Structure 1
């Protein structure tokens, strides 16, 4: 399996962030990480990266429940940002509320909704999905 270049984790839980980074390293998921504690921080940084014409993440793992700008608010704002690169987004949340799942999946750029915790197998599935998208 091919490693992706940059994975972006948007989550306010330092324990989840620590754990998912370790699992990503174990699987050989990506070469680099971007980590943001809330949607606003992520949105501002991604806009700056686009403006500077720097390298964007290939995939975003987005939590729903965060302070300042939550996952849904991030998605609403992110869809307005002009971006030439297609960034694959996975919503990763502890919420099993069907309304949250439907709302998150209603965004075109959301590939899937994953209930925490993420397993090694799920990360491998994500890698395979990204490889298929890249081949299209």
Structure 2
């Protein structure tokens, strides 16, 4: 079963760009888009059924409920084992990369700007690769 894909970013143009790259890379035809982490985590909880798996492309620097708060909420939720996260960020701060590794759901870290090649590399990440074969 292919994962449902969720893209979370506070910038509309980035949401559209990542959506386009996801579709072009053949990862999903209609990813779900959210402009904040709170709406995305609520959606995940609402979708908690049938052992569906999710792949989330997550920006960490957003106003309000940011990517770190999303990850903190996910880490203590019942759906944490159904969700894998690839962080997509403009941050070049090494401490963000280190912090991201402390979350078991984070399987990748991509720095913007995102390319189609980067998106295709997601299918080669061990935890997700089995869903795209």
Same fold (TM over 0.5): yes
2:114 aligns with 118
- Which runs of 5 or more residues in structure 2 are unaligned? none
Q: CA deviation at 1:68?
A: 1.7
State whether residues 60 and 90 of structure 1, in contact with CA within 8 Å, keep that contact through their aligned partners in structure 2. Answer: yes
1:61 aligns with 57
TM-score (norm 1): 0.84
1:70 aligns with 66
d(CA) in 2 for partners of 1:29, 1:57: 13
After superposition, where does 1:102-117 map in structure 2 within 5 Å? Answer: 102-117=98-113
Structure 1 runs of 4+ aligned residues shifted over 4 Å read 54-57
SS at match of 1:32: coil
2:88 pairs with 1:92: yes
| Aligned match for 1:20, one of 18, 21, 32 | 18
TM-score (norm 2): 0.86
SS at match of 1:30: coil
- Which runs of 5 or more residues in structure 1 are unaligned? none
d(CA) in 2 for partners of 1:82, 1:66: 24
1:88-114 deviations in Å (ceiling 9; x for gaps): 211110000111111112111101211
d(CA) in 2 for partners of 1:84, 1:64: 18
2:76 aligns with 80
Distance 1:84-1:69 versus aligned 2 partners, 3 A rule: closer
